[in-house]
Amino acid sequence: MSSLFSGTGNLGNVPDLKYFDVNGEKRPVADMRIFFDRRVKQEDGNYADGGGFWVTASIWGWRAEAAAKLLPKGARIFARGRLREETWEDDQNEQHTQLRLDADYLTVDLLCVDTLSVRTKADPPDDDAV
C-alpha cells in the first residue's frame, strides 16, 4: 500500500543512475537518499529543528538522467510521489523495513541556488514516456 507524499529535504548522496531492461527497452532510473526535515517556527519568529526522516527515492526516465547529471550531494530539493514501506529479509533471516518514495517529480529549492543555466528545447521530453 502506498500514499501520496510531497516534501522538501536534502540529498544524502549523488543520485545513482542505472538502466533497466523494460520490455526490451533500456529505461533509466536514479536512486537517492533524501532527508526530509521539519522546521518548526518559534515564538520569536526563528525556526528550530523539528526532526525528520530518511527516505530512499527513485525517479525514472529523462528526470532520472537529469537528476544524476545536475544534483549534487546536499542539494535542497522538493520531491513528490508515492510513499511506501518496503520490507525484506536478509541472509541472517532478520526482517528489515525502509521507506521508499516512487517519485514522479523533483525540483531544486531556489533558496539554495547560486547560479542557473536554462536551455531551450523545441520538443520537451514526453512525460508519458517516463
CATH of region 2-113: 2.40.50.140
Asked if residue 31 lies in contact with residue 18, where contact means CB atoms within 8 angstroms, the answer is yes
Residue 9 has φ and ψ, to the nearest 5°, of -160, -175
Residue 2 has pLDDT above 90, yes or no: no
Distance CA 49, CA 112 (A): 18
**Residue range 105-123: mean pLDDT, rounded:** 80
Kindly tell me if the per-residue pLDDT of 122 is higher than 70: no
- Kindly list the distances between the CA atom of residue 13 and the CA atoms of 17, 39, 67, 84, in Å, as whole numbers in the listed order: 12, 21, 11, 20
The structural domains of the chain, with segments of one domain joined by +, span 2-113
| CB 15, CB 67: distance < 8 Å | yes
Whether 79 has a pLDDT exceeding 80, the answer reads yes
The β-bridge relationship of strands 47-60 and 95-108 is parallel
- pLDDT band, residue 92 (cuts 50/70/90): very high
User: Which residue, 22, 122, 120, is CA-closest to 64?
Assistant: 22
> Residue length, the chain?
130
d(CA 33, CA 101): 10
pTM exceeds 0.95 for this model: no
By three-state DSSP, how is residue 128 classified? helix
